[in-house]
Structure 1
Amino acid sequence: MSQYPGATYYVSPQGDDRWSGALPEPNATGSDGPFATPAKARDAVRAREDRSAPMTVLLRGGTYFLEEPLRFEPADSGTADAPITWAAYPGELPVLSAGQRVGGWEETELICKPPDNWEDEPEIPRRAWVTQMEGPAFRQLWVNGGRRYRPRLPHRGLYKTTGLPPGAKPRGEFSGCFTQYRVDPEILGEWRHPGQVEFVMVMRWLECRMPIQAVDRETGLVDTVTGAPFLPAKHWESREWERFYLDNVFEALLEPGGWYLDQQESKLYYLPYPEETLETTEVVAPRFPYVILVAGDPDADNYLEYLHFQGLTLAHNEWHKPEGQPWWGFKGNQSVDGQAAVSVPGAFEAVGMRHSRLSHCTMAHVGTYGIQLGRGCKENEVSHCDLFDLGAGGVKLGTVSMEDTEISGHNTIADCHIHDGGLFHHSAVGLWIGQSGHNLIAHNEINHLHYSGVSVGWCWNLDPTGSHDNVLEYNHIHDIGQGWLSDMGGVYTLGDSPGTVLRYNLIHHVRHGEFGGRGIYHDAWCSNVLDEYNVVYRCDSECINFQHGHGNVARNNLLALGGELGVIGHACPDEDASVTLEGNILYTQGCPAVGGNYEHGEYHFRRNLYWDADGRPLRFGGLSFEEWQKQGLDQDSVIADPGSAHPGAGDFTLPDDSPALALGFKPFDLSTVGPRGKVGAGSG
């Protein structure tokens, strides 16, 4: 244990809180050994009078089912010379769980009458387990370390609404709270507990999870308890209807891995896989929202500092919106935040934490975001962490409001892998920066989410904002959206953000559900941001899109294979808009080179190279290249083949004689994007 100087305490599932905690395992007489609970170790460290040397708490392998969140306060702080470290015992994997083991199972046969539209599903007995389950309801469950899902309709894919409810009139965005929907009557079965079914509308950039109040099986009208901010139509002219699914339908409990909590009868049903047995299967249900809660007090200038976590796994939590608390951005009876599931906290939740570190930790099998460094969190580092199987997203930095007296910032998120998220709160993002500045986001891999990969800024106009001077570099962001939500970006930015730089990032395969799958999306007055040395390709919409805003510069990027709207897009132009696009390679295959409207504003397009792989004439804001140049744009740009090695496979290596080099394009190396070294618990 020489790598941990100073006093060391031990915690073990085989421990006892009556012991000293000074030994890593029980002694031969059973009179002393490690503590049994992390809370006891925390209290022992807090009570120690001599804090002049570092202290360490080492957790032996195993799962610690907490009775409440493990809470740290300013009294638990270390110092720069004597930090306090909570770490995994060498070679072992401790798990801190906010859940509970579910026992008392009995094996039985369950006959569910299949839904009316599942004609190919015979009404036959299914092997099932059942147990009494008292206490608050939960919506997520894990079996043998894997997430299991509630029964839903359709089992795969999504339905579409079929029209407007009676009396509905077209309205603008965020114009109301709509609680009635028209669907195909054939999908509305005679459900066992219709009040437990959730109508989950997948619309624009949100998912609206609305408990059902009533259904009319003749007309197809569905009334919900809570509402959505939009009527269920994408475009009034085309009457393209929104998509949805029905979650938690008992009659759809037909396949192994499904589960259903009958709240009226306090029974939990689970359909096991063939290889699962009662003797070898561990079922865990969540109990509370936080695993670790760091509670500093910025208002009193009382911070928790120099507290480090290494090699720990946090798991099995779930958050329910407190009664009476509105969703962000709305008043009244809405069902979702206005964007990014920002109300959802982290399994590791911190306020007023400074100079602290999480390294080689895992946040997995959680119902929320993995980590939130909120108000007053400064100069912290999250590195080499693995965040996956996330009910929401990965990491949140900052707050939604500038009214907070202590803005967070100067934090580093580096060498982490954030993936497989948005599994319950679909609109969550991989990494969210709200009112927070001077953060470094470097060498992360972010993939397989239902909405944006990284979101930076929280202001939809040019008002003062705390989000500025943020640097995103050497990140690998891919497989974003996955055809679910819309109006997203691999990197999504908002508001005036001077000093913010996106550089040396690899962004690809951004797929929207209906519209707006962009690689880099500078939305809603995003201003004064620099994009340079990025490779962005295979996006359903544009590789880079600008909306309003001024002072944005995109230079020396390689942008390829954009979608139907072009490689570069620009919307909502006005007299104050300004964009500089210089020294880039824009490689297309049938789509426009430049889309959008450039009638108003100030635009500087120069030294760009354009090429269409299919040899089609390129279009620039609806104009030919010659007409475009007559507007004073791209005067010294060319249309020429850059000679990329294998662009279809994502290899854009340039030959020495590429015409792009003659224009001043500077080749750059992205071979080191993503984490440097292994990530997660057990990797340090």
Structure 2
Amino acid sequence: MDCATLYVSPAGNDRWGGGLADPNPEHTDGPFATLTRARDELRRLRAAGELEGRAARILVRGGVYELDEPFTLTAADSGTAEAPVVYAAFPGEVPVLSGGRRLRTWSAGAVEGRACWVADLPEVRAGRWFFTQLFVNGGRRFRPRLPKHGYYRFASVAAGGHTPWLEGPSEAKFRTRDLQDWRHRDDVKVVALQLWFEAHHRIKALDLAANTVTFRAKSLGSLIDEKGLPARYFVENVFEALNEPGEFYLDRAEGRLYYLPLPGEEMAAAEVVAPRLAEILVFAGRPDAEVRHVRIENFAFRHAEWEYGPDDPGSIQAAWKVPGAVVFDWATDCVLYGCEVSHVAQYGVEVRTGSAGNRIVACTLFDLGGGGVRIGHEALERSNETHRGTLRGRADGRPMETTVSDCEIRDGSRIHYQAVSVWIGNSGCNRILRNHIHDMNYTGVSCGWTWGYAPTATVDNRIEFNHIHHINWDRILSDNGGIYTLGIQPGTTLRGNLIHHIGCYHYGGWGIYPDEGSSGIRIEGNIVHDTDDAGFSTHYGRDNLVRNNIFALARAAHVNPGKQEAHRTTVFTGNIVWWRGCGFRNAEWPRGHFLFSRNLFWDGVGGDLDLGGGVRLSEWQALGQHSASVVADPLFRAPEAGDFTLREDSPAVAIGFRPFTLAGLVGPRGRRGVRPAAYEEWPDEALARPRPIVHSRLEETPGGAIRLTLTNLGRAVAGGRVRLVVSPPEAVQFRRRPLCAVEGLQPGETRTVEFAVKRRRPLAFVTVETVVSGAGFVPTLEFLGRPPEWRVPRLEAVSTVERVFATLAGLSRQPVQWARSLALAEVALAVAGEDLAVLVKVKEARLVSGPRPWEGSCVELFLAGAGERTEAARAAAPGELRQVFLVPPVSGQPVRVAFQDGDRQAADPSLRVAARLTADGYEVAALLPLAFLRIGARADALLAEVAVTAHRAGGARLRGTLFGAPRPYCSPAGYGTVQVEDR
């Protein structure tokens, strides 16, 4: 195809014609001097009809182009699929688009006797410019901070430490001399670290006599860190701390920049750049005028400035408020190829709502204040700590479809520690492929922005063949992972990734981390090793499949199955788990919640494997868990050196493990500088072919039938078969064959099928599972519950709590079991006057204290009125559920009773408790006023669940519940009904 070509050069002139790569000998014609002039010339040619049917290319010579404003492309600059518009580096050269200004005028000065360079900047003094970064000879320099290394820690937090998100304390106590009334205190920043985020505070007031600092805004969280201590923090931009080479200070009032040079730096020769612009390149489309088919090839984008306002403490997760230096806004099918983005304060690249089909390929993103690439939301309407406002998506319903492939993303999150290397919000059909992601401070790849099971656009994302390592290795934050997911994600795959050296400050540092609500995700063919916490850890979710992975050498329990709910979270099958010194996080794992099968385990010893705290593999297998699993050395070739290739005689083949290697498959193609010069020569991904994704749900109807709902969330027609299986099989009889043939299920179509059933046995819960065949069908499992009834007497009032032991001794007791086999406790209840009387006998070999009641030896009572069973009712009337803790005497502390009050445990004088030790554990008695429980004094029924946490002699922490409610602390769904009968 014919191509119109223009040229841009530092030696050019915007009055010339732009058709020559170099000035002519007479200097009367040659290249343009600016990209803006070349862009405008293309607009003129298009308006004149001279680009009809022609591609357009602007070749840019090497050199630095300092921008006065972001280089902006609009719909008027678009190409077509057949004739794209290409802005490319001249062959063999690197044009640099800089959002900064080189500082050339310096004078010699001194700060506290130390030689420094001084630059006078009138624009700063006039309030038209301020910057928080400086780059000298291509390297980042830093503002002076205290302490120079490590962190201070607040002495105490004024608000007591328990607050809702965004409602944290606005003041804190500091240790003597940690904070001072420094010069230009308004420009000093206090950066506090908590959990998975940091807060950026400005100082409003400082009381040196009381050692109290007051911030300009409330903190994001409690300022109590994950260890239960006042938060760590450091102070930045302190003039009095300007004392080490490589530090700089910008005095806003004086308009003066001070820089302490590194050894060998010379004032006359140094290239010093200060950033001015918040954006360097912007694809600036609109809903009615998108930017289409524009390619940017082999540029370097450097020097961008951005910071939170003085009254904004920052983001609660993933630095979601932080924008990008290169921005795709309502851009479609545009490309960033072979480019560098570096020396910026924010994310390198941002893809905003309304954009679709864009590609970031073979790019290098480094020295980033934020993360690498942030892919935003297709649409979102929310007003809380994770988003404020309404984003309307595309009218044509096209998903975001962003590809980030063959990139290197490194040395980022240097200012915004919580920023993610690649962040995907509420958007689908994105491809994160063959990237090398390393030396970042929080998480490698994060996908999803919904906490729970609400509908999402996060469908069919693929995170495959990435090399992710040394993430949070400085252990600044917690609750992070190599790959992190949130919310329902049908069709999402995490495949072929090599993940290692993932760190954390106190907890987290997981390899693959499906967090809240993560569902419908396939995780296969990954290698995860050398993580501070579990190689695989889930919070809660449903219908995830984890198979044919290798998890090795974690420093803590290798697998964390997460919370129990009324469905199955994960099937974990055909994996190799190899450890030394730690095994699994011990918990009660019913088959319906988290199914292990056909895995290979090895701890270097063998035998009847201890899966955590003394619970043996054989015990699990007797319960039907870990079927066909083996304990054997997998025979890796050189695991200590990171080679997890299996020898030919590996016993892993016997469990159905499919040997694989990631050598040569992970990370960018075209290494060692060998890659196509232009994007049009880059190999086609061939991974975006439409496919069906069938999302399925099971529920019990009010009439007692089982309803199956199937929705095709993919972009191709689905067909297959779904068969229902009940466990135990004798519990339910189907009126007809429980089989459903699905043909021609169109994209976006939903079908429902109901199966009439008859209950044969009065079981509290049965499971119904789908067995599926057909492309895109995901199996699911649900508990169908009819919580049992328990009849207890109404008695005369009991005068003292000690008399409860004798009064309830003769009543029938209900067992609390671990894994439905081992009795942990027996419970007796009665209504005694205006109190609920409780007696629990616990079998426990070793009493343990914990920072929170449920983390040690404890009995938990969950109580609610009989009319508040559903989660919807619970949400409508928060506080109707009461959670009470009975903690036995342990570690020299007396027996105590507390209740859950928001996010803290509180005492109430009306709650009475007594305990006595027994030969095999303890007994605890309690009198709980019905009025406190919000239950009527003459109520003839209430809802209850009892959970017991106990410990084996070998250390295993066992937890069982009376009725099997999946999440008793959130909802009364699954509680038993306690009928109160008059005697």
Instruction: State the TM-score, normalizing by the size of structure 1.
Output: 0.92
Task: Name the stretch that deviates more: 341-350 or 63-72.
Answer: 341-350
- Tell me the distance in 2 between the aligned counterparts of 1:181 and 1:408: 45
Q: Tell me the CA shift for residue 527 of structure 1.
A: 0.5
Q: Tell me the CA shift for residue 125 of structure 1.
A: 2.7
Assess if the C-alpha contact under 8 Å between 2:23 and 2:29 holds in 1: yes
Residue matched to 2:180: 189
Q: Tell me the CA shift for residue 307 of structure 1.
A: 0.4
Written as runs of structure 1 = structure 2, the 5 A alignment for 1:397-436 is 397-399=375-377, 401-402=379-380, 403-406=391-394, 408-436=399-427
Q: Tell me the CA shift for residue 184 of structure 1.
A: 1.7
Assess if the C-alpha contact under 8 Å between 2:308 and 2:314 holds in 1: no
Assess if the C-alpha contact under 8 Å between 2:350 and 2:375 holds in 1: yes
Residue matched to 1:515: 507
Matched to 1:32, the amino acid is: D
Assess if the C-alpha contact under 8 Å between 1:534 and 1:558 holds in 2: yes
Identity of aligned residues (%): 40
Q: Are positions 1:485 and 2:473 aligned together? A: no
Q: Are positions 1:457 and 2:448 aligned together? A: yes
- Tell me the distance in 1 between the aligned counterparts of 2:558 and 2:368: 32
Find the partner of 1:145 among 134, 138, 148: 138
Residue matched to 2:322: 344
Matched to 1:381, the amino acid is: R
Residue matched to 2:87: 86
Find the partner of 1:315 among 284, 302, 310: 302
Task: Name the stretch that deviates more: 34-43 or 341-350.
Answer: 341-350
- Tell me the distance in 2 between the aligned counterparts of 1:170 and 1:636: 48
Assess if the C-alpha contact under 8 Å between 2:352 and 2:377 holds in 1: yes
Matched to 2:655, the amino acid is: L
- Tell me the distance in 2 between the aligned counterparts of 1:177 and 1:375: 30
Assess if the C-alpha contact under 8 Å between 1:417 and 1:679 holds in 2: no
Question: What's the secondary structure of 1:215's corresponding residue?
Answer: strand
Residue matched to 2:12: 15
Residue matched to 2:35: 38
Written as runs of structure 1 = structure 2, the 5 A alignment for 1:200-239 is 200-234=191-225, 239=228
Find the partner of 2:521 among 529, 539, 549: 529
Residue matched to 1:654: 646
Find the partner of 1:545 among 534, 537, 550: 537
Q: Tell me the CA shift for residue 258 of structure 1.
A: 0.5
Question: What's the secondary structure of 1:513's corresponding residue?
Answer: coil
Deviation track 1:149-208 (CA, whole Å, cap 9, x = no partner) reads 10101112222222222xx23425526132212222132235222222111011111111
Structure 1 residues 416 and 306 mapped into 2: Cα distance closer, same or farther (>3 Å)?
same
Task: Name the stretch that deviates more: 495-504 or 602-611.
Answer: 602-611
- Tell me the distance in 2 between the aligned counterparts of 1:600 and 1:441: 33
Q: Are positions 1:268 and 2:262 aligned together? A: no
- Tell me the distance in 1 between the aligned counterparts of 2:334 and 2:627: 51
Assess if the C-alpha contact under 8 Å between 1:152 and 1:245 holds in 2: yes
Structure 1 residues 683 and 365 mapped into 2: Cα distance closer, same or farther (>3 Å)?
farther
Residue matched to 1:62: 63
Structure 1 residues 484 and 683 mapped into 2: Cα distance closer, same or farther (>3 Å)?
farther
Residue matched to 1:473: 464
Matched to 2:273, the amino acid is: V
Matched to 1:158, the amino acid is: Y
Residue matched to 2:76: 75
Q: Tell me the CA shift for residue 379 of structure 1.
A: 1.7
Find the partner of 1:578 among 546, 566, 569: 569
Residue matched to 2:236: 247
Q: Tell me the CA shift for residue 649 of structure 1.
A: 2.2
Deviation track 1:504-552 (CA, whole Å, cap 9, x = no partner) reads 0000000012211111110011001010000001111111111111001
Structure 1 residues 68 and 178 mapped into 2: Cα distance closer, same or farther (>3 Å)?
same
Q: Are positions 1:106 and 2:95 aligned together? A: no
Matched to 2:541, the amino acid is: G
Q: Are positions 1:25 and 2:12 aligned together? A: no
Q: Tell me the CA shift for residue 621 of structure 1.
A: 8.1
Assess if the C-alpha contact under 8 Å between 1:8 and 1:55 holds in 2: yes
Residue matched to 1:117: none
Matched to 2:618, the amino acid is: E
- Tell me the distance in 2 between the aligned counterparts of 1:245 and 1:622: 43
Structure 1 residues 19 and 60 mapped into 2: Cα distance closer, same or farther (>3 Å)?
same
- Tell me the distance in 2 between the aligned counterparts of 1:207 and 1:276: 34
- Tell me the distance in 2 between the aligned counterparts of 1:448 and 1:461: 30
- Tell me the distance in 2 between the aligned counterparts of 1:679 and 1:288: 33
Assess if the C-alpha contact under 8 Å between 1:384 and 1:680 holds in 2: no
- Tell me the distance in 2 between the aligned counterparts of 1:646 and 1:401: 47
Residue matched to 1:605: 596
Structure 1 residues 173 and 545 mapped into 2: Cα distance closer, same or farther (>3 Å)?
farther
Residue matched to 2:54: 53
Residue matched to 1:160: 153
Residue matched to 1:257: 246
Residue matched to 1:634: 626
Find the partner of 1:382 among 346, 356, 360: 360
- Tell me the distance in 1 between the aligned counterparts of 2:570 and 2:261: 56
Written as runs of structure 1 = structure 2, the 5 A alignment for 1:285-304 is 285-298=274-287, 300=288, 302-304=289-291
Structure 1 residues 490 and 668 mapped into 2: Cα distance closer, same or farther (>3 Å)?
same
Structure 1 residues 489 and 155 mapped into 2: Cα distance closer, same or farther (>3 Å)?
same
Q: Tell me the CA shift for residue 224 of structure 1.
A: 1.4
Matched to 1:572, the amino acid is: K
- Tell me the distance in 2 between the aligned counterparts of 1:532 and 1:354: 31
Structure 1 residues 596 and 62 mapped into 2: Cα distance closer, same or farther (>3 Å)?
farther
Residue-pair matches, total: 653
* Larger relative contact order, structure 1 or 2 (CA cutoff 8 Å, min sep 6): 1
Q: Are positions 1:305 and 2:292 aligned together? A: yes
- Tell me the distance in 2 between the aligned counterparts of 1:431 and 1:196: 31
Assess if the C-alpha contact under 8 Å between 1:208 and 1:227 holds in 2: no
Structure 1 residues 624 and 481 mapped into 2: Cα distance closer, same or farther (>3 Å)?
same
Q: Tell me the CA shift for residue 13 of structure 1.
A: 1.1
Matched to 1:59, the amino acid is: V
Matched to 2:252, the amino acid is: Q
Question: What's the secondary structure of 1:42's corresponding residue?
Answer: helix
Deviation track 1:294-332 (CA, whole Å, cap 9, x = no partner) reads 11112x2x2211100111011111124479xxxxxxxxx
Residue matched to 1:372: 350
Q: Tell me the CA shift for residue 596 of structure 1.
A: 4.7
Matched to 1:305, the amino acid is: R
Q: What runs of 5+ residues in structure 1 fail to find an aligned partner?
A: 112-123, 324-332
Structure 1 residues 5 and 281 mapped into 2: Cα distance closer, same or farther (>3 Å)?
farther
Deviation track 1:377-403 (CA, whole Å, cap 9, x = no partner) reads 222221110000011011111328434
Task: Name the stretch that deviates more: 543-552 or 651-660.
Answer: 651-660
Structure 1 residues 629 and 175 mapped into 2: Cα distance closer, same or farther (>3 Å)?
farther
Matched to 1:554, the amino acid is: V
- Tell me the distance in 1 between the aligned counterparts of 2:262 and 2:541: 53
Deviation track 1:350-390 (CA, whole Å, cap 9, x = no partner) reads 11211221111100111111111212222222111000001
Assess if the C-alpha contact under 8 Å between 1:416 and 1:679 holds in 2: no
Q: Tell me the CA shift for residue 681 of structure 1.
A: 12
Find the partner of 2:489 among 481, 485, 497: 497
User: Where do 4+ consecutive residues of structure 1 move more than 4 Å?
Assistant: 594-597, 614-617, 679-683
Task: Name the stretch that deviates more: 222-231 or 452-461.
Answer: 222-231
Matched to 1:667, the amino acid is: P
Q: Tell me the CA shift for residue 234 of structure 1.
A: 2.7
Root-mean-square deviation (CA, aligned residues, Å) is 2.1
In proportion to residue count, which structure has more strand? 2
Instruction: State the TM-score, normalizing by the size of structure 2.
Output: 0.64
- Tell me the distance in 2 between the aligned counterparts of 1:503 and 1:221: 50
